[in-house]
Amino acid sequence: MSAITLESSLATFSRRFEVSAKLTERGKEVIPGGYSRNSFNFGPHAIYVESGDGAYISTVEGHRLLDLNNNFTVNVLGHNHPAVQRALRESIETGVSFGNPVALETELAQLLVDRMPSIERVQFSCSASESCMSAVRVARAFTGRTKIAKFEGGYHGFTDPLQVSWHPDHDGDCGPDDAPKAIPDSEGIPAEDVANVVVLTQNDREGTERILRAHASEIACVILELESASGGVVTLEQDYVESLRELTSELGIVLIFDETVTLRAGYQGMQGDYGVAPDLTVMGKIIGGGFPLGAVGGSAEIMSVLESGLVSISGTHHGHKIALAAGISTMRELTQGAFDRLNGMATRVMEELNDWSNQRGSSFAVYGKGISHLAYGFMREPGLSIRTHRDYWRNFDGTGTQICSLELANRGFFPVARGDFSLSLPMSDDDITAFIETTKEIVSGIES
């Protein structure tokens, strides 16, 4: 058997998804790049989908793929879940969009408050990106300070103040490891927005304390993912999170957990796993049941700046009826037993593939905290770990991982192209077995 190469994988991909290639070219005539999210790119182009049911999607070419992307972790119940479909039909029948509040908004807010001990009040928006903006504005109003502290590699939406040092060019001037430089991730971001961002390094307790103390009188908030989702999956360590909570409390800095992805970690999100309560929590993805919905929640004291009118945040579709209906039905399905099953599948994937890889001395690894959103990839050599975003860019073999992703798609699996994946409740034990065994075949072929 010949070794699997990038060239051979791309050739198979191009043949297998040729209709998607044509649709991409057609899209470029009216949409920059062919589609509105370049994160869809999977090698040379996106894979277009025709339909989805349960744990699977069907492409425009007629291929059936196990969906390990799940709209970048959104579809925790898979596709066409009967409870969600029923809620949607009932909601649509009584009208779609109003200039009035609906009782569903209070119902979903109460559900989130009941689950999350750190949350007493909730405000909805159309996306987690918007709710990150809202959280920052609330923090600034509450503290009277302006600057934002965030982590290198952390993603909190594409807004100007937050799309800083998400994917910095590591060949450029990024600053030292313990004092990263704030770098805009896109043209069009004003220099004054970049100047208001203080960048931290994950799991660097000494460096974090030094930076936060130096800027304490200016920093309104620290916003973070307990496990980063798109800048390389970097998990914060327990003692680091605990020390950050103590430090921000001492310095009067609002601590914001962005649980857009990690809310699927457990019944109380990933903060429940750590046992650390933030001041504000950003939520999204699963809370909308497949529809656009974001939320920021926190203590009544901090959220009072919204109720008093000191902070104004409003949008036409905030608290949209259809998204609320889908979100309520989804969250009701996510019982403790559901999370146990999701994380049990994740543990199995992680343990079986890593045990196999270690036994053969492979540089391939599955990594993350062990929730139903994980990452896979080749390291530059066996045994390397990822504790910071810089570890990711230094230790991660992007080419080998790209080959693995292409081959998974070629063989009936649809992960995120960059090497992360999420599980859904409709997945069966046979689905998980097939993914594990196919991944072993691919890794063996790449390393042969």
pLDDT tens sequence across 204-244 = 999 999 999 999 999 999 999 999 988 679 999 999 999 99
Residue tagged active-site, from 48, 155, 367, 376: 155
Strand partners, 256: 223, 280
Each residue's pLDDT tens digit, 289-303: 999 999 999 999 999
For residue 71, the number of C-alpha atoms closer than 13 Å in the C-beta half-sphere is: 18
pTM of the model: 0.96
* 57 — pLDDT class (breaks 50, 70, 90): very high
- In order of 66, 89, 95, 96, 145, the CA distances from 99 in angstroms are 40, 21, 12, 11, 34
Residue tagged active-site, from 67, 204, 258, 391: 258
Q: Tell me: pLDDT of 406 over 90.
A: yes
| Separation between Cα atoms, residue 448 and residue 446, nearest integer Å | 6
Tell how far CA 383 is from the center of its chain.
25
Give residue 225's identity as a one-letter amino acid code.
E
Each residue's pLDDT tens digit, 255-296: 999 999 999 999 999 999 999 999 999 999 999 999 999 999
| Separation between Cα atoms, residue 180 and residue 332, nearest integer Å | 41
Q: Tell me: pLDDT of 2 over 90.
A: no
Residue tagged active-site, from 147, 273, 279, 285: 285
pLDDT at position 140: 98
Q: Pairing state of beta strands 373-379 and 420-422?
A: antiparallel
What average pLDDT does the segment 161-184 reach? 87
Indicate if 48 belongs to the active site. no
What average pLDDT does the segment 117-142 reach? 97
Overall size of the chain counted in residues: 448
In degrees to the nearest 10, what's the CA dihedral of 89, 94, 100, 102? Answer: -60
| Separation between Cα atoms, residue 417 and residue 421, nearest integer Å | 9
Indicate if 147 belongs to the active site. no
Mean model confidence pLDDT for the chain:
95
Q: What angle do CA 5, 7, 13 make, to 5 degrees?
A: 105
Burial 92-111 (b: 16+ CB within 10 A, else e): eeeeeeeeeebebbeebbeb
Q: 29: how many CB neighbours lie within 10 A of its CB?
A: 7
What average pLDDT does the segment 98-111 reach? 96
pLDDT at position 170: 72
Indicate if 285 belongs to the active site. yes
